[in-house]
């Protein structure tokens, strides 16, 4: 039985109305709107002009995995040739040199994030060599966080010890689901004992913030699988838990065709899984953060929510307030206040460009004042479930007519009990929170143009 809205609609009715394709809004404009019209020359100009009074964030993409998980939507490939991985590290440092040559002045780094793929596919020696190279090029003395996304099945004691030496402070372990049946359906076998060992070993080496990545909506997954997995992993007391809905986009990720459509739970079942997980976690003491994150009250994400300073970027919800993000590696995205750029997604092309001394930028988008206005509205909705549109328009000196197209849609949301609207203050109700991406899309003039490039809302 699904809960009803104040207007007589069931959740089933709301799913039928609003379960459309929409961006996850980890940026605005979204990556789907990047074009080759913005390239290496524009990125060089933006970096040269950027104010670097504040520390920047550094993201390094490691596009290698021991195995290819069928649900994965990341840019990665199975790789077991250490020499190719080692040469990739050489090129990451060379790309850093190319970027810094455009900046022409010292760059302070506040946070470093290793994403993938599987960053712990780097050998311990390559990991330490990478950070020695970064410290030789950037000012890392004030770096408050070094984070990495890790596959527990690939983690070794030697790698964890090397991570301790480079100062790893936050780690994210991929778990997804602990049911052997579900794991077999997505080609990701993994035991709880492996995850428990990884968590203990990382904490012993100084990792003070542990995140676990879980998923709902996987093939053959039922609500009891989600809750049983939570019952096991919460005994590890992770500071953060990310609970993502599986995005089935086989037209973009061909390996997802290995998953049978008939094995996927429908939208109503996905909704039940998500809600059951949220109830379980909040009852156990984790605070709901935005759409799909949970944090213990003492964690920085929870503190950011209390202070109204939660942000959203390509890694999801974050406390990172840096205005400049430098992305290194295949498909990595960079940002300045002037716009976004993304590196070449094909590893061979990226290697060739960097090897020839060229910035490996493939596409991007310049940010207009209107983009920044709409982007802030969407970020506040995603982070706070509320936004004062009039206040943002006054502060940014934008006209409310620029988002006039949102109001007819918002009236429909309000009629269905998903939002309240008063004096241009929009607040998403508890009933509407699972549909917040649809609410954000109301402010996005390009949402329908790129619909097929995004997963469904529920």
Outline where 220-368 has alpha helix (H): 223-233, 267-283, 300-307, 347-355
Under DSSP, the state recorded for 52 is: -
Place of tokens 């002045």: 105
Would you call 425 helix, strand, or coil by DSSP? Answer: strand
On whether 213 is known to bind a ligand per the annotation, the reply is: yes
What kind and span of H or E run contains 11? Answer: helix 11-18
On whether 176 is known to bind a ligand per the annotation, the reply is: yes
Q: Please spell the DSSP secondary structure of 372-399, one letter per residue.
A: HHHHHHHHHHHHHSEEEHHHHHHHHT--
On whether 247 is known to bind a ligand per the annotation, the reply is: yes
On whether 379 is known to bind a ligand per the annotation, the reply is: no
On whether 306 is known to bind a ligand per the annotation, the reply is: no
Tokens of 171: 């780690």
CA distance 300 to 310: 9
On whether 65 is known to bind a ligand per the annotation, the reply is: yes
For residue 207, count other CB atoms closer than 10 A to its CB: 23
CA distance 381 to 390: 14
SS (H, E, C) 220-244: CCCHHHHHHHHHHHHHHCCCEEEEE
On whether 73 is known to bind a ligand per the annotation, the reply is: yes
On whether 85 is known to bind a ligand per the annotation, the reply is: no
On whether 165 is known to bind a ligand per the annotation, the reply is: no
On whether 146 is known to bind a ligand per the annotation, the reply is: no
CA distance 374 to 257: 35
Q: Tell me whether the omega of the peptide bond preceding residue 197 falls within 30 degrees of 0, making it cis.
A: no
On whether 69 is known to bind a ligand per the annotation, the reply is: yes
On whether 348 is known to bind a ligand per the annotation, the reply is: no
On whether 72 is known to bind a ligand per the annotation, the reply is: yes
Q: Which residues are annotated as a binding site for S-adenosyl-L-methionine?
A: 59, 71-73, 116-118, 149, 176, 188, 213, 247, 333
Q: Which residues are annotated as a binding site?
A: 59, 65, 69, 71-73, 116-118, 149, 176, 188, 213, 247, 333
Q: Which residues are annotated as a binding site for [4Fe-4S] cluster?
A: 65, 69, 72
């Amino acid at each position: 039985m699904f809960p009803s809205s104040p207007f007589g609609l069931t959740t089933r009715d709301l799913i039928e109305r609003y379960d459309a394709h929409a961006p996850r809004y980890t940026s605005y404009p979204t990556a789907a709107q990047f074009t080759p019209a913005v390239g290496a020359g524009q990125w060089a100009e933006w970096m040269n002009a950027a104010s670097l009074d504040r520390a920047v964030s550094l993201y390094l993409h490691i596009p290698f995995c021991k195995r290819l998980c069928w649900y994965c939507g990341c840019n990665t490939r199975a790789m077991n040739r250490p020499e190719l991985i080692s040469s990739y590290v050489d090129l990451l440092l060379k790309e850093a040199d190319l970027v810094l040559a455009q900046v022409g002045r010292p760059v302070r780094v506040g946070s470093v994030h290793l994403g993938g793929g599987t960053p712990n596919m780097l050998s311990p020696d390559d990991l330490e060599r990478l950070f020695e190279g970064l410290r030789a090029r950037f000012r890392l003395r004030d770096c408050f966080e070094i984070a990495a996304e890790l596959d527990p099945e690939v983690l070794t004691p030697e790698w964890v010890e090397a991570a301790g030496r480079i100062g790893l402070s936050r780690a994210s372990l991929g778990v997804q689901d602990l049911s052997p049946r579900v794991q077999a359906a997505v080609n990701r076998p993994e035991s709880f004992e492996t995850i428990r060992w990884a968590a203990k070993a990382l904490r012993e080496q100084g990792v003070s913030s542990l995140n676990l990545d879980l998923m709902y909506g996987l093939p053959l997954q039922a609500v009891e699988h989600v809750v049983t997995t939570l019952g096991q992993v919460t005994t590890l007391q992770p500071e953060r838990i990310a609970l993502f809905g599986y995005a089935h986009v086989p037209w973009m990720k061909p390996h997802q065709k290995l998953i049978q459509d008939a094995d996927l739970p429908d939208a109503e079942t996905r909704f039940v899984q998500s809600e059951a997980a949220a109830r379980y976690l909040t009852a156990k003491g984790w605070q709901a953060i935005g759409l799909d994150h949970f944090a213990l009250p003492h964690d920085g994400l929870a503190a950011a929510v209390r202070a109204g300073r939660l942000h959203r970027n390509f890694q999801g919800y974050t406390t990172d307030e840096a205005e400049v993000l430098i992305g290194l590696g295949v498909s990595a995205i960079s940002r300045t206040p002037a716009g976004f750029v993304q590196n070449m997604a094909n590893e061979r092309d990226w290697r060739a460009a960097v090897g020839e001394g060229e910035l490996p930028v493939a596409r991007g988008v310049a940010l207009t004042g209107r983009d920044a206005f709409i982007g802030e509205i969407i970020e506040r909705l995603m982070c706070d479930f509320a936004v004062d549109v009039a206040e943002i328009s006054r502060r940014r000196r934008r006209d409310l007519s620029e988002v006039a197209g949102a109001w007819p849609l918002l009236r429909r949301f309000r009629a269905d009990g998903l939002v309240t609207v008063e004096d241009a203050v929009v607040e998403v109700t508890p009933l509407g929170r699972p549909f917040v991406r649809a609410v954000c899309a109301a402010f996005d003039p390009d949402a329908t143009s790129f619909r097929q490039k995004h997963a469904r809302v529920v």
